[in-house]
Structure 1
């Protein structure tokens, strides 16, 4: 027994002596540093789980447990007291393996530079540089979005060029050609026209789109009365741009006046959280977080909520989530107490998990942004990250399946029985890892038997590679195995994996009567995938690809078989000689066109055999 296993058993024995009462447990490493703090309704049950079988833990928990040298605990009178104490201790000690969020919400400002050609920008702090600063504001995201919108609507530059110094020295950038910049660098705009646009942009960031539209409409009507149609047209374009901005903002308006919408997306080793903050029914702020490790969605949501609201001054009356969280009623009670303490008034905080309607749409939008943020941090596309996270949720996997293998059997009435395996890594085909199999032990049309043989051969190769210390190709364990077939295929193959002591998620892909993917097969039935659009698209792509690959190999084998039978009909040409001829000349047509001397020099040929082959293709009855 190694030292680590001995330590784990020692800690488990101590954990089993804990009382079945609420409390907080504190994990320490060898140096005495606190590495994890958690709460429990029953300390004995919760703490002993950590030191049980490693198969029940994700990678993050396994790593944490491997570093635990000892633990201590604090008893509380209730689970709610344990939650409050846990939050306080985490904030105080900042343990390595807890979700840790930084309280980086500072003030921000709108900077108005001086000079004849002033600029607008969003900044995080004031400087003594002669510029004028408007603020402070609490949400940097909101201010940055407002300034960006003002620059685009009123066509102000956002480059680093200095005016009038850089006028006429270079070509305008792309923003000019897409009508988002008046391009002072061209030297063709009057200073008074620029100042007019700048002042309107400044009014917009100060008063909002509604005020700007009213003021611009008055000026447009006056310009039309004065027959200044050029100015009226310019003002009309700005009003239209502001109207479009307001229409886009309506998409993310909330019927609930004040709430936070929170969603998560999990990848192979990291979890992303997105928070939309609504005030007065409008999206006023958003935050993105990335944390190391994955886990069950309810547990991860619960830990995030405890951390996030533990460091925030503002508590909303409604928290809308993309799914349930552990201890939901307990956390709602805790948030209610925080709300009363921080907001100085009593109100019950409600945790909401919408199933349909506009709130559900807001949650889905929030989830898409979480997946996009995860993709940016992981080097994926937002579409792939979102599809893998949808698939993870659909199948109840611990982590997003970054490495997927899919298998299909192809034959014609039991003849030329073959299989194809395709691999998708991070949602994209990994063609270098595709493999083909000739079925060796199964005769006739027996897809179940053929699939069992393929899976057994593949994971026998895995064991051999592991013994060699090779983690590439068949030496890599997939995160998910898909079979082109229904529940019968899954039931036929699962015993093979169980017999080899392998725990890999295994599912079938079920097609409808039009050969389109319609569901995922499990040993106990089917899971509909029509409601998960991105996961549906990914699974359909995988199933189409494995079918194409397997049937392509089958046709190739049939063609080879037909070609070989032509050569085998020649006296003196057996399977080995036919194979050698095809390998040397590539095609039967090339064999038929070869000169006698070329046939005599071919590998494995004799002069009599070469003469018979030549006569076969060039004789009177050829």
Structure 2
């Protein structure tokens, strides 16, 4: 890429936290860095030509292309930067390649593990997270853990709990579970340790989902104090990550999807690498019980914990286009409120018309900076805003296969969600939806006739003879049930 094109490319970078990857003319990653503002940080490399450092001067001269990955917080960017450097070992990342000098967070392998900060990674059974260049950022993570997910700090090994031991002041302050005094079981402590590791690995939303289930269980069991603690912990994690999901898990030797995402970015001319993709689809039965869904893919893999379904409220009858619009409006209002993560790419199941309605929704929300496309079935054409002709990729192209995977998964989830909603409605009984028939009358009728099918098929006189029904209501009930039973064509 020419220098002028590269500078123009940098202007499109978001003014948000993230990680940038610099490549040489051969496409090899030569430097990975993190930034509070991707646009400002990367631009700073090209503001002047004279660098005191020969290494930095050589780096800038070698840059042919730059890719970015947007994250929601600097902490996520820090963790992702560490992973990418370990994965690619870029030539100019001297700091983290010489990682013996820098800090690791170590979770010991003891019966009741501890957290320590160390500069030496040993060959033992402990869990090491890092290396980290800036220890101050490590301390920020540890302060959060100490307050809401505390582990013990004492160095003595605990072989057996002794209930005769009086716990120390840290337990009184809520900064330790006091396993030494037998105030928590080994199982409880191990569960807490697993939570801490998830937090340190940047898997924030996954941890929130796990804690939310525990909170709901505590409420059901009337353990309100425990539920309140879990609620505060969830809020604290949200504050750190702004309720955004964790960064993608990148493992050495499993970078095939990483290269696919690079190809997808190149094909669609995306400003940032699309490591989080939202896929949308609609399902209904003859315009009834319409459900809109979104599936989320991260690093090319589905993250089912982020799947969401929406029962369409504002659309009457068969109207996939306006249903798509409502689904996107509701989905991204939640994102704006901080309840869900923002994607780097939106994929709509459909053609150009579905894309137009989706774009209308994003325009209403003033989120026009998020790239959005649609993928039509059969011809597998990719519709892109402001492009006259659809994009056609080779059927064997990994980037197209990834888009098909997202599209097909959204279709599968839409069908499944619709069937579940339909089944749920019939279990609840369609009778309750008939004006003049409440839960009590519906229960009495089901008890008398056995099923909604029997009520629909019985003579009107028999139904009218039931207590509290009469001819008018009997006719209304049967007409409603017959209408609801008509048309089993499911989209």
Taking structure 1 as the reference length, the TM-score comes to 0.35
Q: TM-score w.r.t. structure 2 length?
A: 0.44
Q: Kindly indicate which of the two structures has a greater share of residues assigned to strand.
A: 1
- Which structure has the higher relative contact order (CA within 8 Å, separation 6+)? 2
State the structure with more CA Rg.
1
